[in-house]
Chains A and B, each alone.
Chain A
Amino acid sequence: GEDVEQSLFLSVREGDSSVINCTYTDSSSTYLYWYKQEPGAGLQLLTYIFSNMDMKQDQRLTVLLNKKDKHLSLRIADTQTGDSAIYFCAETPGGADGLTFGKGTHLIIQP
C-alpha cells in the first residue's frame, strides 16, 4: 500500500475550520511535514512537527500527531479563500534524506 495516505478532496465553507488528515507508515520518521501547493506553483513548506511532539500551533495552523496510530492532521482555523491549495503530508522514511509525500488533499473553499 501507499506509504503516506490522504484523502484527495476536502470542501469547507469560508470561515469554518479545515481539518486535513494523513496516515503514514514509517514509525522512525523523525519529522513529519505539511507542504502547500498553490495553483501553478511548486510546493512550499507550511509547517513541520518533530516526532516526539503531540501538537504544534502556529497562528491559524494546528498540527496534531498521534504517533501510536501514525496519524497526522492539519487544522486551519477561519479558512480563507487564500487557503485554497493542495496540501501534502510528508514523512522521512527511515531517516533518509528524501521525503515521501502523500498524493495531496485539494482544499476547496465554498463562499
Chain B
Amino acid sequence: DAGVIQSPRHEVTEMGQEVTLRCKPISGHNSLFWYRQTMMRGLELLIYFNNNVPIDDSGMPEDRFSAKMPNASFSTLKIQPSEPRDSAVYFCASQPRPGLASNEQFFGPGTRLTVL
C-alpha cells in the first residue's frame, strides 16, 4: 500500500487566490482527518469524516475553508480566498474504522502551503 497520498507537496500562491489540497486515504480506511501544523499553534484538527460524512468541522478556522469527501478514496480541502496567515503544513490522515482499539491514524507527507 502506498499510504496516504497528498498533493501537491508544495504550493506557493498569492494572497486572494484559491487553493485546493488533495488527499487519497489508505484503501479500506473509513475515517479521514485534515490537520494544519504551524510553529505557533502546533498541530490543529480542522475537520474529520467518517464514511465520507463530515463529523466535526469545529476546527475549521473560518468560512474561507471548506472540505469535501465525495467518495471513500478522495478528499479536498479548499481555501478561498487564501491569506498569508494560512501558510502552514496541511496533513491528511486516515484511520481504519471508528472505534478500532488502537485508533491509530496514518498520516500523509503533508502539503506545505505558502501564501505570499
Chain A residues at the B interface, C-beta cutoff of 8 Å: 30-31, 33, 40-45, 48, 88, 92, 96-104
Interface size of B by CB at 8 A reads: 26
Please indicate the chain A residues that have their CB under 8 angstroms from the CB of B45 in the complex: 98-101
Please indicate the chain A residues that have their CB under 8 angstroms from the CB of B105 in the complex: 43, 45, 99
Q: Does B71 belong to the interface (CB within 8 Å)?
A: no
Docked complex Cα distance between A42 and B3 (Å): 11
Interface contact tally, CB-CB below 8 A: 57
Closest 9 CB pairs of A and B: A42-B107, A103-B42, A101-B43, A43-B107, A97-B98, A45-B104, A42-B109, A98-B48, A42-B108
Please indicate the chain B residues that have their CB under 8 angstroms from the CB of A31 in the complex: 101-103
In the assembled complex, 21 residue pairs joining A and B whose CB atoms fall closer than 8 Å, in A order, are A31-B103, A33-B103, A41-B109, A41-B110, A42-B91, A42-B107, A43-B43, A43-B91, A45-B102, A45-B105, A92-B103, A96-B56, A97-B98, A97-B99, A97-B103, A99-B103, A101-B42, A101-B43, A102-B42, A103-B41, A104-B42
Docked complex Cα distance between A100 and B56 (Å): 13
Name the residue on A nearest B47 (C-beta). Answer: A98
Name the residue on A nearest B40 (C-beta). Answer: A103
Choice from A48, A98, A103, A104 contacting B104 with Cβ under 8 Å = A48
Contact A104 B103 (CB under 8 A): no
Please indicate the chain A residues that have their CB under 8 angstroms from the CB of B33 in the complex: 98
Choice from A42, A88, A97 contacting B110 with Cβ under 8 Å = A42
Contact B110 A48 (CB under 8 A): no
Please indicate the chain A residues that have their CB under 8 angstroms from the CB of B104 in the complex: 33, 45, 48
Knowing A42-B91, A42-B107, A44-B107, the reply to whether A103 touches B43 (Cβ < 8 A) is yes
Docked complex Cα distance between A30 and B98 (Å): 13
Name the residue on B nearest A42 (C-beta). Answer: B107
- Taking the nearest CB of chain B, how far is it from the CB of A90, in angstroms? 9
Choice from B93, B95, B101, B103 contacting A42 with Cβ under 8 Å = B93
